[in-house]
Structure 1
Amino acid sequence: MNMVSIDLSRNFFSTFHKDTFRGLTLLEELDLSNNILNFIPANLLQDLDSLIQLRLQNNQLENLDEIIFWKLRNLNLIDISKNLISELPRNIFCHNQRLIIINLSHNRIKRFSSGLLREQLWLEELDMSRNQISELQVGSLKNLTNLKMIDFSYNFISNIPEELFSDVENLRSLILHNNRISFVSKNLFQSMTLLVTLDLSNNRISKINGLAFYTLTNLRELLLGQNSLCEIPDGLFTNLNLLISLNLFSNNLTTIENNDFQGLINLKHIMLNNNILKNFEDDVFTPMKNLEKLRIDSNKLQYLQNGALRGLKKLKAVKLDKNPWHCDCRVLYLARWIREFSEKLWDGQMAMCRGPGDLGGHEVGLLRYDDLCEGQWASMLSLSPRLPLRKHRIMSPMNYTTYFNLYLKHIYSTTPKGVEA
């Protein structure tokens, strides 16, 4: 009668007699997880007034009686994950007002009732991931002002009412990845000023309102990968001054403009890989003075603008491979950057030339000025070459601006209009 903890996990119990725990009024922890429970008598737990933690995960429960938890007024944690539950009675938690953690993940729950958590004012963590929820109802999170973490990942959610999160003003982590969300509205996250992590990855998001993240001034991690974004809305990250990690991989981005990353002054990691990026504007990375890791691999990039990586003084790792680098004069900046900072290449993966001609398959970083630019300035300017090509390549580094000016000097007696000396 004096026991405070019982662990009956990892056995082969399929059920218990209704009097199994009779009289254990001092019991605080009960672990029935990892059995083959398919039925629990409604009165099994009725004497456990002091119970704080109840673990029922990884069983074969298909349903639970409405009154089964009613006597557990001191319960702080309940884990019913990894069962076969498809529906929960609306009043099942109505007497468990001290619950702090509820884990209902890995079930078959299809409906998240608006009244299911109406009495859980102390609740801090709610895990509803890996169910079959298709709709979230207005009021289902009402008055849950102490919530710190919500996980609705791996469901079938396509639409979220703007008012759904209006009461969860202390939320720190919101996990919504692997759903069917297609649009993020302006006011959806408006009340979450303390949010630290927002995961919207692996949805169907094609459009985000430019002010959707404006109030998330404490956000540190934003995951938007594996969606259908074709562009970054104006001002989307303007107010995210504390953001450290930004994930945009596997979208449909074709270009990034200079102001797209405005405001990301403390960003350390950005993932832009597996898009269809063809070019960046000149100063696209300029706002990110503290950037340490950059992934732009697996895109359609043929070259980088001169000085594109110049301001990234704290850069430790960059991944450039699996792009169709076109090895002519326009890739000269990248080649020189790789030679100077080869130790910063992510996992030592080299950028390889896609072409032209016999340069295909060569490492960009091993090519010099003559390899890339010999005889090409004239063709790039639609001029007829007036100097013979060198028979022997110059293997030592040369300032390509000086070389170009010398070349032009042989074509014109004075510097042509529009060409800077």
Structure 2
Amino acid sequence: MEKELGLILFLVLLLCHKGNTESQTSCPYKCHCFTPVQVLCADERMASLPRNMSSQVKDFIIMTSSLMYLFPHTLKESPQLTKLIFLNNALQSINSQAFEHLAELQELEISGNPWLEHLFMGTFSKQGNLTKLLLNFNRLKTVLPGMFDSLKQLETLQMKGNIISDLPTFLFLNLHSLRVLDLSQNKLEGVKKEMFSGLARLEVLKMNYNLISNLASDTFHNISQLTELHLEGNKISELADNIFFVLTKLKVLNLRGNLLTTFSNKVFGFKATNLKELNLKGNRLTELTSLSSFTSLTDLILSSNQLSTLPEDIFRNVTALENLDLSENQLTLLPERIFNDLFIIKAIHLQKNNLSMVDAKLFEDQDFIQQLYLSDNQLETLPPGLLDSFVIQHTVRLHGNPWKCDCHMWYLHDWVLRNSQDIEMLDRMLCKSPGFLRGRPVISVDRDQLVCRLSKDKMHDLSSCSLQASRDTVTINCNVDQCSPLTVKVQFQGDDGSIKEHILKNELEHFQCSNEATTESPIE
């Protein structure tokens, strides 16, 4: 995918600069010259590099060609190059002296060559000014010790998408200026602390989608300046206490797609004040303990795990949190005050859990929420007042629940009618019961249809209603469910057979009823 995106990017660049192309006599055959200093050669039939390139050229890009080999002195006539890119070619071998004359080179990329398996010692020995080296999506199996020793100015090194299974212990020892290291999508099986010796200025480390299963407790001690650490897609099942203790400047920690069953702030030794993003999606988490030291955390992703319960104080002190994703877990119940400290939260994702009920005060302090996803749970109704605290434009998802469209749904029904423009996939918010409303969109149901049927037990109670007569007054006294819209009809039949009917309805406002309403009141 990244190779395709690179191709598209250069083609767009080609089109944008087409009007500035130099005359064909001054531009190498089968190439395009955007400016006197920029040349792009992209021809599937090109098997060797052009030799008539201007000495003014600084940026040279070769892509989608049939170029298989880089020989010694191939680029001897272009010592002025500062940027050299080989993208999606057919390279199989690069001679160790191919770049010998390119001492001014600052950026070098050799990516997307599916037959390139090895690099020889000394390949980069003359590139002391190089700041960026990209070796992505080749077929590299090994990297030789000392391969990068001469690259003392290197700031970015990428070797993602290869099949490297092991790295020499002190491979990066001399890379004192390195800030970004990407080893993702390889086959690394372990990480040794010596591997990062010398990387005093490293800020971003990506080692995602390898086969890493263990990390030594002092793995990161030599890279204390790290601001981003990407370890997603590995086989890490446990993190030792204090393993990230020295990473006091870390802002992004991505542990997505590992085998962790538990997580707590002990991995930072309770000191993670600068952490902004924590991604634990797709692990096997069954337990979370305190996260209270993550006082700067803004994004927390806990989706696709096996969480069934959460401690009430799990987010205590995490007051900077803006985005919380708890979707695709096994949550059945949430403590009433679990979100109590999240005053500036913008998004809470709870979809695809097993929630059957939520407390009326669950979102009481979340005035600025913009996204609330409660879809695909087991909710039959929502308690009165649950959604009333939101004061700004918001997006809500409620579909995929077995909504029970009876009198207990008056609050939610009224809220849906008032806020229909804020509810996504409203046509999929369907009644599950009662039978005569099954499959109907909630918004299409009239409020008068939201009735609670009297049970057999209640009918038995009605059979014991008392009648009291006093002179010309008859009083009927029955105990009924407070939330039942019961209708009492009294009929008077005259001597001539005519009937006069009087009707009394037990109509109460929806705020008087809730899921727990069991109080009975007399009808007289």
CA distance in 2, matches of 1:388, 1:49: 91
Q: Work out which of the residue numbers 315, 321, 332 in structure 2 matches 1:237.
A: 315
Paired position in structure 2 for 1:271: 349
Q: 1:239 to 1:135 in 2, by over 3 A?
A: same
Paired position in structure 2 for 1:133: 212
Paired position in structure 2 for 1:84: 163
2:213–2:237: 8 Å Cα contact kept in structure 1? yes
Paired position in structure 1 for 2:247: 168
Q: Alpha-carbon deviation of 1:233?
A: 1.1
Matched, 1:198 2:284: no
Matched, 1:324 2:402: yes
CA distance in 2, matches of 1:234, 1:319: 24
Q: Alpha-carbon deviation of 1:150?
A: 0.5
What SS does the aligned partner of 1:373 have? coil
1:201–1:226: 8 Å Cα contact kept in structure 2? yes
CA distance in 2, matches of 1:380, 1:400: 21
Q: 1:383 to 1:281 in 2, by over 3 A?
A: farther
Paired position in structure 2 for 1:291: 369
Letter paired with 1:93:
F
CA distance in 2, matches of 1:305, 1:269: 20
1:329–1:376: 8 Å Cα contact kept in structure 2? no
Q: Alpha-carbon deviation of 1:346?
A: 1.2
Q: Alpha-carbon deviation of 1:262?
A: 1.3
Letter paired with 2:301:
L
What SS does the aligned partner of 1:256 have? coil
1:179–1:202: 8 Å Cα contact kept in structure 2? yes
CA distance in 2, matches of 1:374, 1:368: 14
- What TM-score comes out, normalization by structure 2 length? 0.73
Paired position in structure 2 for 1:187: 266
Q: Alpha-carbon deviation of 1:348?
A: 3.6
CA distance in 1, matches of 2:228, 2:265: 21
What SS does the aligned partner of 2:157 have? strand
Matched, 1:152 2:152: no
1:374–1:389: 8 Å Cα contact kept in structure 2? no
CA distance in 2, matches of 1:187, 1:26: 47
Mean alpha-carbon deviation: is it higher for 379-388 or for 20-29? 379-388
2:399–2:429: 8 Å Cα contact kept in structure 1? yes
Q: Work out which of the residue numbers 110, 117, 141 in structure 1 matches 2:196.
A: 117
Q: 1:375 to 1:28 in 2, by over 3 A?
A: closer
Q: Alpha-carbon deviation of 1:335?
A: 0.9
Matched, 1:254 2:332: yes
Q: 1:315 to 1:12 in 2, by over 3 A?
A: same
Letter paired with 1:66:
P
Q: Alpha-carbon deviation of 1:135?
A: 0.7
Paired position in structure 1 for 2:49: none
1:168–1:191: 8 Å Cα contact kept in structure 2? no
Paired position in structure 1 for 2:138: 59
Paired position in structure 1 for 2:449: 371
CA RMSD after TM alignment: 2.5
Q: 1:375 to 1:133 in 2, by over 3 A?
A: closer
1:61-76 correspondence runs (5 A)? 61-76=140-155
Q: Alpha-carbon deviation of 1:399?
A: 3.5
CA displacement 1:358-407 (0-9 Å, x = unmatched): 121122233334311265499779843866579xxxxxx98346899xxx
Q: Alpha-carbon deviation of 1:3?
A: 2.1
Paired position in structure 2 for 1:19: 97
CA distance in 2, matches of 1:161, 1:400: 53
Q: Which has the larger share of strand?
A: 2
CA distance in 2, matches of 1:307, 1:85: 57
Paired position in structure 2 for 1:42: 121
Q: 1:295 to 1:43 in 2, by over 3 A?
A: same
What SS does the aligned partner of 1:384 have? helix
1:184–1:208: 8 Å Cα contact kept in structure 2? yes
Paired position in structure 1 for 2:83: 5
Percent same amino acid among aligned pairs?
26
Letter paired with 1:164:
I
Q: Work out which of the residue numbers 396, 402, 414 in structure 2 matches 1:336.
A: 414
Q: Alpha-carbon deviation of 1:4?
A: 1.6
Letter paired with 1:373:
V
Letter paired with 2:320:
L
Mean alpha-carbon deviation: is it higher for 243-252 or for 183-192? 183-192
Q: Alpha-carbon deviation of 1:292?
A: 1.1
What SS does the aligned partner of 2:87 have? coil
2:217–2:243: 8 Å Cα contact kept in structure 1? yes
What SS does the aligned partner of 2:414 have? helix
Paired position in structure 1 for 2:56: none
Matched, 1:384 2:384: no
CA distance in 2, matches of 1:389, 1:412: 9
CA distance in 2, matches of 1:72, 1:219: 36
Q: Alpha-carbon deviation of 1:314?
A: 2.1
Gaps of 5+ in 2: 1-78, 464-477, 479-485, 490-506, 515-519
Q: Work out which of the residue numbers 300, 304, 309 in structure 1 matches 2:387.
A: 309
Greater RCO between the two (CA within 8 Å, min separation 6)?
A: 1
Matched, 1:223 2:295: no
CA displacement 1:184-205 (0-9 Å, x = unmatched): 1341242221111100111001
Gaps of 5+ in 1: 391-396, 414-421
- What TM-score comes out, normalization by structure 1 length? 0.90
CA distance in 2, matches of 1:168, 1:162: 13
Mean alpha-carbon deviation: is it higher for 179-188 or for 342-351? 342-351
**What stretches of structure 1 move > 4 A for 4+ residues in a row?**
374-383, 385-390, 400-404
1:205–1:227: 8 Å Cα contact kept in structure 2? yes
Paired position in structure 1 for 2:509: 399
Matched, 1:99 2:175: no
What SS does the aligned partner of 1:30 have? strand
What SS does the aligned partner of 2:205 have? strand
Q: Work out which of the residue numbers 288, 297, 300 in structure 2 matches 1:208.
A: 288
What SS does the aligned partner of 2:176 have? coil
Letter paired with 2:509:
N
Paired position in structure 1 for 2:43: none
